[in-house]
Structure 1
Amino acid sequence: MELSHLIAFNLALFAAIASPGPALLVAIKTTLSAGRQSGIAVGLGLGLVASLWTLAALLGLEAAFLLFPWAYTLVKFLGAGYLIYVAYRMWTGARRPIGNETKPAAHAFRQGLLINILNPKSVLFSAAVLVVIFPAGLTTTENLLIVANHFLIEAAFYTALAFAMSRPAVSTGYMRARLYIDRFAAGVLGLLGLRLLMTR
């Protein structure tokens, strides 16, 4: 493995993290509604599981999903159900006073874990990127380096996002438009959950 492989992987990873999806939406919403600490915590949960999906891809879990389609289907349905549940809670909570929406960092971290644990497409994405970018026959040390690198990139991204989104001007703007932002985010998450249910 060469440095150029790791750079290419990081570019693909950054594009995936920054693209609109459940993880990014939940990270933004958590920071805006519960503050920087919870935003960082949810990002660490997301990043930890995403890096473990990369480890699973390196170990060949995508082959297990192909051999046992029922396992993939089970995880997919659980993931879709959880996204729809989060969307429902976000939608119904949009009118509640912000003081009732405090989210301890530990709870935010668990939510980050669940969002990515219940997203089996993460391991398939990781497998596709790894096959394209890295040469065959990686050593154990190289595999661990890729996984650690993945976690650090995710942690840095979500930490920077939490700092940016928790600025007073941003949080004040969110409070003014909170009902519409939360309802929009809930709608997107719900649609993503339904899409996950209907796709193979």
Structure 2
Amino acid sequence: MLAEWFLVIGICLMGAMTPGASLAVVLRQSLYQGRAAGVITSISHAVGIGVYATASLLGLGLLIVKSPILFVAIKWLGAAYLVWMAINAWRFAGQSKVNLESTSQQLGNPIKQGLAISLLNPKVILFFLALFSQVAGDQLDLQTKALYASTAVVIDGAWYTLVALIATRPAIRNKLVNGSLWLDRALASLLILVAARIAFG
């Protein structure tokens, strides 16, 4: 069991640290709404990860994937949400340098942002189905399944919280905000690429 748990830890670390839409959202929330908002977004994102990790371990994730209507609905809602975020990021690119308060209002509630970016991404549940198919099965007891799910939550939350803490250090935050025009456009482009991958991947 210990070897399987280390495998879960390693793969969850790689999954969390891979740049994507989640990183873009946590960064923007951290830079423009502050450290607390960045941490809240990170924790909310981890909660969403926990939902899909638990669903996969209990066999519910497979039901979602095998339900064409539900899976396609999540896929297109997620892609549309990312496109909407990308449009706003591009539209207001650079304005944060002048008006942080206005940009903060445009970003919305950090709890909703964190949950949405994880729950509206069907790639997350596919990730966990692939992961747990290698280490989980009917032989796993409830305690082990809880350990694997909580491991995914803790790793995800810890990684993005670290990102939020680093990004909001005064020297780093000032540099990023000063270059917010290109940062926002880069994040918007990343969101579009992820949306396309979700919709057509």
Pick from 115, 132, 135 the counterpart of residue 133 of structure 1: 135
Q: What's the secondary structure of 1:102's corresponding residue? A: helix
Residue 152 (structure 1) shift: 1.5
Counterpart residue type for residue 174 of structure 1: L
Pick from 102, 115, 118 the counterpart of residue 116 of structure 1: 118
Q: What's the secondary structure of 1:138's corresponding residue? A: coil
On the 8 A contact 1:50/1:151 being kept in 2, the answer is: yes
Residues 147-188 of structure 1: CA deviation (Å, up to 9, x unaligned): 222212122112211111111111111122101100110111
Residue 129 (structure 1) shift: 0.5
Q: Please give the root-mean-square deviation of Cα atoms over the aligned residues, in Å.
A: 1.9
Residue 61 (structure 1) shift: 2.5
Distance 1:36 1:170 in 2: 12
Residue 195 (structure 1) shift: 2.5
Counterpart residue type for residue 128 of structure 2: S
* Identical counterparts, % of pairs: 26
Distance 1:99 1:73 in 2: 36
Q: Which residue in the other structure is 1:31 paired with? A: 30
Distance 2:106 2:187 in 1: 21
On the 8 A contact 1:41/1:105 being kept in 2, the answer is: no
Which structure 2 segments of 5+ residues have no match? none
Which structure 1 segments of 5+ residues have no match? none
Distance 1:100 1:159 in 2: 24
- Pair 103,147 (structure 1): closer, same or farther in 2 beyond 3 Å: farther
Once the two structures are overlaid, the 10-residue window that deviates more, 126-135 or 31-40, is: 126-135
- Paired residues in the alignment total 198
Q: What's the secondary structure of 2:109's corresponding residue? A: helix
Residues 80-122 of structure 1: CA deviation (Å, up to 9, x unaligned): 0000011111111223322212259981111010111111121
Once the two structures are overlaid, the 10-residue window that deviates more, 74-83 or 64-73, is: 64-73
User: Is residue 13 of structure 1 aligned with residue 12 of structure 2?
Assistant: yes
Q: Which residue in the other structure is 2:192 paired with? A: 190
User: Is residue 87 of structure 1 aligned with residue 83 of structure 2?
Assistant: no
Q: Which residue in the other structure is 1:40 paired with? A: 39
**TM-score under structure 1 normalisation?**
0.92
Residue 24 (structure 1) shift: 1.3
Distance 1:12 1:51 in 2: 15
On the 8 A contact 1:22/1:192 being kept in 2, the answer is: yes
